[in-house]
Amino acid sequence: PKLISFSSFLSFCCASASALQSLTDAMHIPHLYIQRNAEGSPRTACQLNPSPDGERYTLAARPPVRLSDVMLTLVGELHWQKFIIFYDSDYDIRGLQVFLDQTSRQGLDVSLQRVDRNISGVFSSLFTSMRTEELNHYRDTLRRAILLLSPRGAQVFIHQAVETNLASKDSHWVFVNEEISDTEIMELAHSSLGRMTVVRQIFPLWKDSSVSCMRNNHRISSLLCNPQEGYLHSLEVSNLYLYDSVLMLANAFYRKLEDRKWHSMASLNCIRKSTKPWNGGWSMLETIQKGHITGLTGIMDFMDNGSNSHVQFEILGTSFSETFGKDIKRLATWDSVHGLNGSLKESRIENGMQGITVKVVTLLEDPFVMVAENILGQPKRYKGFSIDVLDALAKILGFKYDIYQVADSKYGSQLPNGSWNGMIGELINKRADLAVSAITITPERENIVDFSKRYMDYSVGILHRKPEEKINIFSLFAPFDLAVWACIAAAIPVVGVLIFLLTRMQMLRSQNPPGAHHNSSMSNSLHSAIWIVYGAFVQQGGDSVVGSVALRIVMGSWWLFTLIVCSSYTANLAAFLTVSRMDNTIRTFQDLARQMDYAYGTVRDSAVYDYFRAKGTNPLEQDSTYTELWRTISKNNGQDYSVSSPSEGIRKAKKGPYAFLWDMAVVEYAALTDDDCTITVAGNSMSSKGYGIAMQHGSPYRDLISQKILELQEKGDLDVLKQKWWPRTGRCDLNSHSNAQPDGRSLKLHSFAGVFCILAAGLLLACLVAALEMWWNSNRCRQEQPKEDKEVNLEQVHRRLNSLMDEDMAHKQIPAPSIEISALDISSMPLSQQREAVRDYPGTGLSVSTFLPEQAHGVGRTLAQGPGSTLPLPHSSSTMPSIHCKHRAPNGGLFRQSPAKTPMPMSYQSVPGGPIPEAIEHSTSI
């Protein structure tokens, strides 16, 4: 086939341009390439193959695609870290390769999603293929989106996103397309929700009124050169470049003909090998490149690589709050030489919130929101901490508000069908602009609504009735278990019996030789041995025991045992009294889960309820406390122990053994203002959360309110409001246990009541035993007294005493000092007891003198020790036990004691060695 003889070729698509490039390069024919968008979609770069001989005859009339450079600048100015790109099915995704490489190096999170022609089917498939959590995540992703779609496709896409509630007021849509008209931009702005930014190519000369319709030596129609006509805006950009390309070729032909340097072109045949290239092709190409014409698109200037370098983009946008994107204005421009010229920062509400009336939904919660005045026929007036914060913000920002209570009296939680109830549901359904109460900021709520900065920290408190103090007068026995006390009580007689047996065995095994000094305090009776053991146990000491090694080992072991027992008792008693002084036995969630006295619960469908459900059902949670708490709270779907409102939980905690888990601020206020001060609060810190003002997703008021809350915190106004509703010293003092005075830590009387009871019981027992002893001794004296009233012959008593002495030992004298004893009727003793009485004074000679009133008879005889007789002294070292009986007077009658005189004792005096002294007057010596 033959080619028609043209000086140049025009092509409009990348495929045809690549095919023509090889032909024009071979035949040296200038080739003008004008890329056209596919059905209005953004164009992608068309990569042309380089010429084999290095000479390119192809010129790109339309500048190369610079959309990736513009998007990189825009993302950097907006400080986006995460966004999604929606691209048309006709768009070549290879055009984003450079952009994705740049964002990857910057660490940005970029998602890609292709949009088919059936856009409505895209959103309907989302609701059938995604769960609620995934939809919430997808909704959050749509807050920052770049649309590489056709104008019509972008309009349908945004409309579907708004209708399906996937778009929000804080969504930011960036539409990037070189070809979009003003009418299409306004349609996008009206259909969108949130902020809209449009990037399109502009030609500054259009709106320059100083430029006439003359282009060099050509005159352009007024419909094209006058921007007021509006016809130019309806033309495609590719048609504008086509117009300028034809104008540029006409100018080149004119110059060639004017210079008379035209080289005629012979017909070219692609089949013949002998066909030669056009000799005037390169000259014609240079003439076109050096034309520098100014057309509808501006100056047509080509670089060495054959591309048009002059390109400029316009960035249009809506303010964040300007009737939600209905007003469009230019924000900045971008060109390949200077880059960005302008600012892309979000435009705030120009006059703040001055004069705006917002709708506020609330919920009664002391002391955050309470009814201050309720007059029939007039709106309710509210008071409380949250209301004070709202009033302070309204005063600063200049807005007004209408407030109403939520119908279901719930803060808001997600229902099984995916919807929300309570105040959160009011915001989602756009029936309210703000939600003000004791509403906490949670991740689940932040996915669907916006929150201001926290104005108060949040923690969970445990409200319960103060435990009644139990008085146990025998609490001093509590440090040891009953089995320990039983073992100690059994150990005392066991050790006492062992000591008694060891002492008896020692006495039987070795009789003391004559002259040996035996300890007079050695116990040879069972009760004495037990007494020694008891004295050592109470650390009061006892009679010293000097015996065998075995006896000493027993006593040493017992003393060590008593030391350990007493020390352990002292330590445990101190710990027991310390623990018993604690005002509150429930201080943490762990204490609440371990105890069995209190039932506990919270408000159903609340943030606290959801918190324990998330912690209790989390398989990765290592603390089993939350599992136990959730098992009790959710019993019978929360109907058994959980309540429907905070006020019900507070009333339930005041009545009986019930612990109410709720916001610390609420329960602390309830405890401070309690009439009887019978409830107290224990807390568990969760300060990572806080109370905030909730608003619609993408609300224009979020940043303004958050900024003013921070200012109130810095100035200390919020602290003043907190002190107003949570005073440090209210009707009830919640910190009494933490800052108690030293007197409050002293032991009370009931702590030692058991000791005084034991002492009183011992004193009563002693008095009873003393009375029994007196009665017993009195009866014994009556039984032993002779029935016949006759005179006691003292000489007979003396003779009987002397007969008991050993005649061989009579010469031994008693070296001991004089011992004075009470008068004793020795004659009335049995024979064995008389021998024991003599053995009480081993190795001594006694001179016994009897003193009777007004008369004395001396019959002296020295008392000698019987051989081998030993007997320890009684426990008292100074006096002997005596039985007071009446004695006969010498006249045969009974000696009667005068009331003014005491009976004279019988004196047994030791007599020194040598001759027996003369009888002492008024005495009888033996």
Distances (CA, A) of 574 to 478, 747, 751: 11, 11, 12
Reading phi first (left if > 0) and then psi (alpha if -120 to 50, else beta), residue 675 is in: alpha
What DSSP designation does 515 have?
Answer: T
Distances (CA, A) of 820 to 83, 859, 907, 912: 117, 18, 5, 16
Cα–Cα distance measured from residue 436 to residue 445, given in angstroms and rounded to the nearest whole number: 14
Q: Are strands 460-465 and 679-684 parallel, antiparallel or unpaired?
A: antiparallel
Say if residue 147 is exposed, middle or buried (CB neighbours under 10 Å; 0-12, 13-18, 19+): buried
Q: Six-digit token pair at 894? A: 């009974």
CA 7 to chain centre: 82
- Which residues, in sequence order, are CB contacts of 245 under 8 Å at separation 6+? 10, 32, 34, 61, 300
* β-pair partners for 420: 414
Closest CA to 100 of 71, 80, 64, 78: 71
Closest CA to 684 of 593, 758, 748: 593
Q: Six-digit token pair at 824? A: 């004793």
Cα–Cα distance measured from residue 730 to residue 673, given in angstroms and rounded to the nearest whole number: 7
Is 782 labelled as part of a ligand binding site? Answer: no
- Which residues, in sequence order, are CB contacts of 534 under 8 Å at separation 6+? 492, 496, 542
CA 864 to chain centre: 92
Torsion of CA 891, 892, 896, 897, to 10 degrees: 60
Other Cβ atoms closer than 10 A to 488: 15
Please name the residue that has the structure tokens 């002259």: 515
- Say if residues 78 and 106 touch (Cβ distance below 8 Å): no
Is 728 labelled as part of a ligand binding site? Answer: no
Each as own residue / partner, the long-range contacts of residues 333-336 (CB below 8 Å, 24 or more positions apart, any chain) are: 333/202, 334/69, 334/70, 334/73, 335/311, 336/63, 336/66, 336/69, 336/309, 336/311
Residue 483 identity: A
> Which of helix, strand or coil describes residue 63?
coil
Distances (CA, A) of 712 to 434, 436, 588, 709, 724: 19, 17, 33, 5, 15
How big is the chain by its Cα radius of gyration, in Å? Answer: 58
> Which of helix, strand or coil describes residue 342?
strand
Rounded to 5 degrees, what angle do the CA atoms 322, 328, 333 make? 125
Phi/psi at 821 (5° precision): -125, 165
Closest CA to 181 of 150, 158, 140: 150
Is 663 labelled as part of a ligand binding site? Answer: yes
Other Cβ atoms closer than 10 A to 532: 23
Q: Six-digit token pair at 287? A: 């003439």
- Residues in the annotated binding site for L-glutamate: 440, 445, 663
- Residues in the annotated binding site: 440, 445, 663
